[in-house]
Amino acid sequence: MVFIKSLIVAVLAVVAVKANVLQQSSRTPAACAYVLPNIPGGFSQRRFADFSSNTPSDNPATVLGTYNIGISNYGPVPSTPLTHTFVPENVAFGNGYLGLKTSAYASGSVQSGEIVTNDVFMYASVRTVLKSTATPGIVEGNFFYLDVATGAQEIDFEILTTTIFSSNNPLVPPGIWATNYNNTGSRINTVSTIPFTFDPRTDYHEYRIDSFFQWFGTTTNFYIDGVRVAQHAEPSTTPTVPGHWIWNSWSSGDVNWSMGPPTADGIYQIRSIDLYTGYTSTC
Ligand X SMILES: *[C@@H]1O[C@H](CO)[C@@H](O)[C@H](O)[C@H]1NC(C)=O
Question: Residues interacting with ligand X, by CB under 6 A?
Answer: 153, 171, 182, 184-186, 188, 235-236, 240, 255-256
158 or 254, CB closer to ligand X? 254
44 or 184, CB closer to ligand X? 184
CA distance 263 to 260: 8
- Asked if residue 104 lies in contact with residue 97, where contact means CB atoms within 8 angstroms, the answer is no
- Asked if residue 280 lies in contact with residue 43, where contact means CB atoms within 8 angstroms, the answer is yes
Residue 190's alpha-carbon distances to 119, 140, 275, in angstroms, are 26, 19, 24
14 or 171, CB closer to ligand X? 171
Least Å distance between CB 145 and ligand X?
Answer: 13
- Report which residue's Cβ sits closest to ligand X: 185
Least Å distance between CB 160 and ligand X?
Answer: 14
Residue 89's alpha-carbon distances to 79, 115, 257, 268, in angstroms, are 21, 12, 25, 14
Least Å distance between CB 240 and ligand X?
Answer: 4
Least Å distance between CB 49 and ligand X?
Answer: 29
CA distance 274 to 48: 4
Longest dimension (CA), the chain: 71
Least Å distance between CB 166 and ligand X?
Answer: 18
57 or 256, CB closer to ligand X? 256
45 or 167, CB closer to ligand X? 167
